[in-house]
Structure 1
Amino acid sequence: MPTARYANHRKLLLLGALPIAGFAAWGLAHLAALAGAIEGHPYDMSAAWMASFLLLWWVPLAWFERPIRAPRERRAELDALTVTVQIPVYNEDPEALRACLRSVLAQSRPVDRVRVVNDGSADKATGAPIHYDDVRREFEAAAARLGVETTWDRTENRGKRFAQMHVLAHDDADIFMTLDSDSVLDRHAVREGLQPFADPRVQSVAGHVLVLNRTATLLTRLTCVLYLPFTRGLRSAQSVLRRVTINSGTLAFYRAAVVRRCAGAYENEHFRGRPMQMNDDSMLTFYALLAGDTVHQPSSMVFTLVPERFGHYANQQLRWMRGTTVRHLWWLRYMPLTGVVFWATVAEYLHLLLAVAIPVVLLADPVCRGHLGEFSMAAGQVGLAMCYLMALRLFTVERSDEPLRARLLMFALAPVASLWRLVVLRPLYLYALVTCWRINQWGTRGSVEVALTATGAAEPARV
C-alpha cells in the first residue's frame, strides 16, 4: 500500500503562486477594462466580472491552511480517548475490504474498537447474500492479537446511514471515526486526525482524501486533479475559518456525543417525502457545525478507490451533486445569517449565476459579439491562471507511489481538468440542481464497481 506525507513546500508554492496570481490579476484588469469601455454598450459589465472573480475567495485563503498540532500538555488526553471506527459495507470488493481493515489495525496510534456492518450485500445476478467470511476470519484473528475490540454484523439493506447508526447509537466511545470500505488509511491517519480534538471547540475533523487507483485509467488520473479544488481548496479555506461544511465519509472524525445526539433523526431524513440516505457525510458535518467548530486535517490521509468507468463516475457525481443541493437548503435555513456558512452558500450560487449569465449576455448582445474574441482571450487567461494556482497544491503531498515527474505532468495538464469541469461537470451540476429530489440509497453500487486487484494498487509501493 502507498504511504503519503504532507510536505507543504512553502517556498516552492510561493515562487509559483506569485507570478500566476499576477498573471490572473493582469488578465482580470484587462477583462474589466474591456467590459467597461466598449463604445455603444448600454451597461458596464466590469462589475460583474470583478464580482465573479472575488467570489473565488477560497482560492487564496486555502494557502493559509497548516496541519493542526495539539499542545504538548494536551497530548496525553488525546492518547486516553476511546476511538471507535465504523465501516459500513455494501457489495464491496473483498480485496478492497481486506486492505481497508488491515490499514485500520496497522495504525501508529491504535484504535480501540472496529464496528463492521454488512448492509445486506448480495450478488446482483443470483441474489445470494455475500458474507465475506474469509475476510472476517482474518480480520478478527488479527484484531484479537492486538487487543482491538471488534463486532461484525449483517443487517437488511436499508442504506449507509442505518448501517452506521446500527452500532454507533449505543457505543460509548469518545471519538467516532467513519471510514469507507473501499479506502485504505495512511499509517498515521488516526494519530493526525485526533490532533485537532485537543481544542474542545472542535466537533469534527475531515480527513485528507487521495486517489488509490490513480494509474488505472485516464479517468482516475484526471480525478487526482479534479479532487484538488475541494480536498485542497474549498475545504482547506473553510478549515482556516473553522467552518468545514462537508467531511468526506471516506475518512472523518466526530466527537461521539454529536453523533449519538442525532440518532433517530440522522438515518430517517426525508426530502420531498423520500428517504434521504446519500450525503451522509454532509449531514453529520451539519450536526457538528451546530455544536461547534469543524476543521480539516491535511496530514490525516486516506487512499480511496475512485470510478474507473464514465458511467460509474457520472452516477457518483450526480449523487454527490444532488445531495449537496439538498444540504444547501439546510445551510440556508439553519446556519446563522451572520455566519460564514450561510454567506459562502449564497456566494456559491451567485458565482454559478454569473457563470451562466455573463456568457449569455456576451452572446445575446450584438456589440459584445463583436468583441467576443477579446473577451474569450482575457477570460481564458484568468481561468488558466486560477487553474494553475490551484494545481500548485499537488505539491503539498508526497506519495510513495507517485514520483515527482508524475506530479509535474499532472500540473502541466491541469487545464484539461478545468475543461472537463466546464464541459462535463457544469452541465451535470445544472441537471442535478433541477432533479435533486431523485435520490436513492447507496446510489452507485448494485455490484462491485472497482476491484482493488484490477487496479494494481494492491502491489507494494516502492519508495
Structure 2
Amino acid sequence: MSAFQGRAPRVRLTVVTAVVVAALAVATVVVHAQSKSPILTFYWWLGMAVIVLCLVSFLKGRSFTHLPVAPGRTVAIVPAFEEPTENLHRTVRSLLAQTHPVDEIHVIDDGSRQHPVEPFDHPRVFWHRQENKGKRGAQVTVLRHLQEQNKHFEYVLTIDSDGEPFPDALEQQLRAMSNPRIQATTGMIYIRNFEETWVSRAADIDIGTSCVMMRSSRSMLGALETTSGALALYRAELLYDHLDAYEVECGTGDDRWLALRALMRGEVVAVNEAGVVTDMPTTLRKTYRQRLRWARSWWWMLPFVYARLSLKQLISPTFGLLQLVITPVMLAWIVVMTLLTLGGRYHNPGIALVYLAVYLVVRFGQSGLYVLMRPDMTARQRWHSWLVGTPAAVFMNIVLLCPTRYWALFKLRDNAWQSRGLTAKTVLPGAGRHRAGSKDLQKA
C-alpha cells in the first residue's frame, strides 16, 4: 500500500469502491433486462469498463516510495505575475523547507504592476524581473540565464506562484526519477480555497476525483498527457533540447506541451505522495476561462498526439475522444427516436432513472474516495465537501465544463494563451539577491 493511500484506512477506501462496483453490477443487470438498444448497451459497457479500470488503478496504485532518491542538482523556477507578496513568499519558503534541498530557486516577476515581487535575502533564492511575456516566457528567460551562467542542473522543478508543496514533494518526485524511463512527474493537487465559494468547492471535488480516478489509470501506463503547473519535475535536458520550440509555441498549455515531448522519450507519471496546495478560481467566469484554455490545448495537440505517441500512450486520448463524440450522438439518437416513435421506443423512464442513479452513485463514490484520502480535512469538512461539493461538481460539469469542451473547438484560433493582459516596462528590484546577466532580465 502506498503512502498516498495510507493516509486513509485502506478498509474504508475498499468499502467505498466495493459499493460503487456493486451498484454498477446491479445496474448492468437492469440495463440488460430493459434495454432494447444495442447501441445503448455498448455505450453502457464502455463506460463501466473504464470506471472499473480506474477504480482498480486507484486501489492498486503506482508508488515510488521504495526507490532511492535520484542523484543530481535541481533548480526551481517560480514565475510570478501580480501575485500577493504573502502568497509568493509562502511558496518560496515551502521550497526552502524541502526534505531534499532545492539547489537553487529562481523567482521571476513577469512585469507585475499592482503586486511587484518583493525579494528577501537567501543564498539559494535568486530574484529576476522582466517585461510581461507570460509564464512560458518567464521560464525560458530563467533557463537561458542559467545557460549563460554555465550552471548545470539535472532536474527542473516548475511551480505556480501560489503553490505550497508538501515538505517531501521534491524528494518523492526524485524517487520516481530514479527510474530512467521516467522523464517527467507531477504531484497531487489539493485546493487551498475549497471553502471560499461553491465554485471552488466544486472545483476541488472535480479536480480531486480526476486525480484519484483518471490520472491514476494513466499513470499506471506511464502515459500522463499533461503535468500540473502547480507542481511538476522534468529532466533538464528535456527542456533544453526543446527550448527554442517551447519559447515560440503559444497555442497550447505549457504543461501539456512539455508532457507530450516527455512521452516521446519515455514515461510521465503522477507521484501522489508529492502533494501541493494551490488556489483555484472562485467564480464561474474565471473557471470557464481556465477550463477553456485546458480544453483548447487538448484539441490543439490532438493531431500531434496521434502522429507521435505509441499505441499504449494513445489509450487515454482515444477514450476521451470517443466519449466526446459518442455522448452527443447518443443524446441526439434518443431524442430523435423518441420523437419519431412518439415515445414508443423509449417510453420506459426506468432506464433513464437507472442511468441517473448509477451516475450519482459513481460520482459520490469517486468524491468519497478523494475526501477520505485528503490529508488536511477535518471530519466536518469531509462530510460537507462530500454532501455539498459532489452535487455542485455534477451541476458545474453539466452546465459549464462539458459544454466548454465542445466550445473550445471553435476557439482554436484564439492564440492568446501567453497573454496576461499586461505588457509593462518596469525597473529591476533594488533589494534582494538578484542575478541578471541576460539582456531580457535587464529591460527597464
Distance across 1 between alignment mates of 2:403 and 2:284? 15
After superposition, where does 1:1-400 map in structure 2 within 5 Å? 7-36=7-36, 45-56=40-51, 57-71=53-67, 74-75=68-69, 78=70, 80-123=71-114, 131-132=116-117, 135-136=118-119, 138=120, 141=121, 143-144=122-123, 148=124, 150-169=125-144, 170=147, 171-269=151-249, 275-276=250-251, 278-336=252-310, 339-365=311-337, 366=341, 367=343, 370-371=346-347, 373-395=349-371, 397-400=373-376
Shift of 1:395: 4.1
Distance across 2 between alignment mates of 1:5 and 1:209? 15
**Cα 1:368–1:185 shift into 2, 3 Å:** farther
Contact kept, 8 Å, 1:5 with 1:399, in 2: the verdict is: no
Distance across 2 between alignment mates of 1:446 and 1:184? 26
Shift of 1:114: 0.7
**Where does the alignment leave 5 or more consecutive residues of structure 2 unmatched?**
424-444
Shift of 1:177: 0.3
Residue 116 of structure 2 aligns with an amino acid whose one-letter code is H
**Cα 1:18–1:315 shift into 2, 3 Å:** same
Shift of 1:249: 1.1
Distance across 2 between alignment mates of 1:444 and 1:155? 14
Shift of 1:326: 1.2
**1:126 aligned residue:** none
Equivalent position SS for 2:317: helix
Shift of 1:131: 3.3
Shift of 1:17: 1.2
Shift of 1:328: 2.3
Shift of 1:446: 6.0
2:412 is equivalent to residue 421 of structure 1:
no
**Cα 1:48–1:313 shift into 2, 3 Å:** closer
1:23-77 alpha-carbon deviations (Å, 9 max, x no partner): 122213322432227xxxxx66322332343344434433321431243xx44xx
Residue 58 of structure 1 aligns with an amino acid whose one-letter code is C
Match of 1:440 among 397, 416, 429: 416
Distance across 1 between alignment mates of 2:85 and 2:344? 58
Name the % identity: 22
1:333-355 alpha-carbon deviations (Å, 9 max, x no partner): 2112xx22223212111112222
2:404 is equivalent to residue 408 of structure 1:
no
Equivalent position SS for 2:243: coil
Equivalent position SS for 2:228: coil
Contact kept, 8 Å, 2:32 with 2:41, in 1: the verdict is: yes
Shift of 1:211: 0.5
Contact kept, 8 Å, 1:209 with 1:301, in 2: the verdict is: yes
Distance across 1 between alignment mates of 2:86 and 2:116? 13
Equivalent position SS for 1:157: coil
Residue 294 of structure 1 aligns with an amino acid whose one-letter code is V
Contact kept, 8 Å, 1:206 with 1:297, in 2: the verdict is: yes
Contact kept, 8 Å, 2:23 with 2:361, in 1: the verdict is: yes
TM-score, normalized by length of structure 2?
Answer: 0.86
Residue 49 of structure 1 aligns with an amino acid whose one-letter code is W
Distance across 1 between alignment mates of 2:169 and 2:163? 12
1:177-198 alpha-carbon deviations (Å, 9 max, x no partner): 0000011122221122211011
**Cα 1:248–1:424 shift into 2, 3 Å:** same
Q: Give the CA RMSD over aligned residues.
A: 2.3
**2:434 aligned residue:** none
Equivalent position SS for 2:58: helix
Residue 86 of structure 2 aligns with an amino acid whose one-letter code is E
Distance across 2 between alignment mates of 1:92 and 1:5? 33
1:139-187 alpha-carbon deviations (Å, 9 max, x no partner): xx2x22xxx2x32221222221121111224251111100000111222
Aligned residue-pair number: 409
Equivalent position SS for 1:437: coil
**Cα 1:8–1:375 shift into 2, 3 Å:** same
TM-score, normalized by length of structure 1?
Answer: 0.82
Contact kept, 8 Å, 2:371 with 2:385, in 1: the verdict is: no
Distance across 2 between alignment mates of 1:179 and 1:331? 25
Distance across 1 between alignment mates of 2:325 and 2:246? 32
Residue 113 of structure 1 aligns with an amino acid whose one-letter code is E
Residue 11 of structure 1 aligns with an amino acid whose one-letter code is V
Distance across 2 between alignment mates of 1:55 and 1:445? 40
